[in-house]
Structure 1
């Protein structure tokens, strides 16, 4: 994980009962806890390891509407509004800056994708615009890339993943939520056909509702109860440079690199054109559901068969609640960093903007992303288990929409007025 992650202290003993239990201490779960606590709903959040230690602190920090599916944009717009008021809400700066995001095209085919996306969201008033090569040079000066053009949304932004979730967690506790780290949930208790509590490694907590926001772990947790959630893992490697002069405050995504300014003066960079896809047993079980993604994204997936396959193979998929679970065996998942991809990303970046020739790597890390067949999350009740709601499968987009997704999940749990239309996030669409 990034060394910049802010650790927080939480209580260690579980309560006997509460109204809502949240499983998972990433930005979605923590945001839901904050939303519930602000409404004076008793809520306990349980994290098997450390708050925000997995993908919520390992992502790029982009808060974007650009290139999202049209039906996912309203949630991103709601997230914009929440992020804009976040510092006032939680009493601390989370690094939010509405500095814009730009995607670049090197070929006519890539440019046509941006044009098609812009056409699909033309009625949503995003302020997005197509850019000519000259306009790219104006916004991001000093480059030497031969771009066909790009798409730019000035209202997009960024925040600091190593800070944001920790700050939200502290605000949730100040509002009355109970957060507990290093406490895995093993199973759900049920009575009269619905959820009546959770069984943890410390014992049972009685509750009325459960929200599962376990990220890449959600599929395994649900599988133990006979519920199939179609998600597969990919691994993204990321680096942070030492402080340096850069070309822009705008976050930029090229075909084979991306960069954005970090609050400490360096840049966050990754190889946007490729991620690692280590084969697991789940690829063999549900891979056909992802055939459309593989057809269009095969060049972007570095598929391999190695240690992750065998580690996953021996990890239990079924267990009883009175014995240790996979969540206790691996408190925090730390995927291997692909240093070759990072060097490639850095080289591609400074080929496009010579300022990055001076870049020195301060640190690097990798994170595991859970991807659904349509790259859209599930935020919905689980019909097979009354009292259980799921908010997971964010497919690499979870940080940006996290505060809004957490609020929407809390609305669903409470059967309250919904932040946005939840239809795009139905579980049964699969």
Structure 2
């Protein structure tokens, strides 16, 4: 069965008149935008969040549901650890409603080289205070009985999970109670500038005055910035996810992955099943323009990347998607309210086969639903979180599939930038200009 749990026909929950003026407008109703808006409101600012379609309608609702510190790039790790503390500190009733559980994350190894990679990462991460540890073959077999082929693992017991497609809407209600104004089906067509700096946003429902804007537009961020003459090294890849029928009792409920597939136990007894690194990549104008920057990433992972020459009509990097438009006319964000790509069913069939090889006593699991999402990525797989070349605009995008888990910690960083405070974390790895000032693109320390 195909179908994303948040259907395109569900009406907006957050409607009503726009305020004439706010302190900050946040563009994008994914988890990064929502948590940022909530953080800014808690700091006493008047905040408007505009979402062109439905909250969590795109990748924030379609991801794996992992809340992960393990395996992070070392520059992201401190922020991810902050995020986990914030997830744990949510009210108990809210944690229960979003399915928050600290069941751990496990990376599984089939050979010694993979175990060596785990050991190397852990040696560098341990000074940060992670509770991660290496598991022996016996410990791994105890965690995953009747499995085949794994010689050991990397395990972080404090890592967790939540249900993505319910998390953002429920957190949004809490944010509204604390003063955030949210408007769904309200695309921001562009920025209003005065003397070269932000003075407001032009939405499809009218103009709102504000001196600061946070762009958390996910896969749409490059298109939005390009219309204002600002380049962003960002592309999007398609990742397919499926859910299985309930699996036997005694099977681990934790989130786990090897280099072939990833799984996460769900509250209903089924599992999310997805590829660890397989992605479908659509070629469009931005892809051609950014080929040089992304080529090392493609070559390093060429066997798991499928190239497609044409993105579906209306997608951010489709050949016919307009790159410029007037604020008085309908924008691309209104023509495609929600990116809803078809899942790669051949990939999902391959994952079923690989799962059966890993768990021969269970065999091939039946699939109950499948969907896909567009993951926005950068050449170094790290986000861009920084002031943009336009004064008053802060960019928070390119989360590269990490946004769901890291959002609460990243929101604190973004709120600091908005208010002119120095974030408590080193932010130079996430600066906007790194792709344009000659800085070499380093291989990620993530595993």
TM-score normalised to structure 2 length? 0.91
Of the candidates 166, 169, 173, which is equivalent to residue 166 of structure 1? Answer: 169
SS of 2:82's equivalent in the other structure is helix
Shift of 1:22: 0.4
SS of 1:151's equivalent in the other structure is strand
The change in CA–CA distance for 1:149 and 1:211 in structure 2 (over 3 A counts) is same
Contact 1:92/1:167 (<8 A) preserved: no
Shift of 1:110: 2.6
Contact 1:279/1:309 (<8 A) preserved: no
Shift of 1:117: 1.6
Query: Please, which moves more after superposition, 302-311 or 242-251?
Result: 302-311
CA deviation vs aligned residue, 1:302-331 (integer Å, no higher than 9, x gap): 222245489600000111211111101100
Contact 1:50/1:182 (<8 A) preserved: yes
Match of 2:200 in 1: 197
CA deviation vs aligned residue, 1:140-180 (integer Å, no higher than 9, x gap): 22212x12322111121111101111111111111111100
Match of 1:2 in 2: 4
1:180 aligns with 2:186: no
Of the candidates 21, 29, 43, which is equivalent to residue 33 of structure 2? Answer: 29
Could you list the runs of 5+ residues in structure 1 that have no partner in the other structure?
none
SS of 2:246's equivalent in the other structure is coil
Match of 2:248 in 1: 245
Cα separation, 1, equivalents of 2:143 and 2:217: 39
Shift of 1:357: 2.6
1:12 aligns with 2:32: no
The change in CA–CA distance for 1:75 and 1:229 in structure 2 (over 3 A counts) is same
1:338 aligns with 2:344: yes
SS of 2:374's equivalent in the other structure is strand
Query: Please, which moves more after superposition, 102-111 or 205-214?
Result: 102-111
Of the candidates 96, 121, 125, which is equivalent to residue 129 of structure 2? Answer: 125
SS of 1:270's equivalent in the other structure is strand
Cα separation, 1, equivalents of 2:422 and 2:123: 31
Contact 2:140/2:151 (<8 A) preserved: no
Match of 1:68 in 2: 72
Cα separation, 2, equivalents of 1:259 and 1:7: 31
Match of 2:425 in 1: 420
TM-score normalised to structure 1 length? 0.95
Of the candidates 283, 291, 295, which is equivalent to residue 291 of structure 1? Answer: 295
Contact 1:279/1:308 (<8 A) preserved: no
Query: Please, which moves more after superposition, 207-216 or 263-272?
Result: 263-272
Shift of 1:76: 0.5
Equivalences for residues 38-57 of structure 1 within 5 A: 38-57=42-61
Equivalences for residues 79-158 of structure 1 within 5 A: 79-88=83-92, 93-144=97-148, 146-158=149-161
Match of 1:370 in 2: 376
Of the candidates 426, 429, 434, which is equivalent to residue 429 of structure 1? Answer: 434
SS of 1:255's equivalent in the other structure is coil
Shift of 1:407: 2.4
The change in CA–CA distance for 1:91 and 1:260 in structure 2 (over 3 A counts) is closer
Could you list the runs of 5+ residues in structure 2 that have no partner in the other structure?
436-447
Superposition RMSD in Å: 2.0
Of the candidates 220, 223, 245, which is equivalent to residue 217 of structure 1? Answer: 220
Q: Which structure dedicates a bigger proportion of its chain to helix? A: 1
Structure 1 moving runs of 4+ over 3 Å: 4-8, 87-92, 306-311
The change in CA–CA distance for 1:201 and 1:27 in structure 2 (over 3 A counts) is same
Contact 1:87/1:94 (<8 A) preserved: no
Query: Please, which moves more after superposition, 44-53 or 268-277?
Result: 268-277
Cα separation, 2, equivalents of 1:345 and 1:300: 13
1:264 aligns with 2:241: no
Shift of 1:89: 8.8
Contact 2:215/2:397 (<8 A) preserved: yes
Match of 1:324 in 2: 330
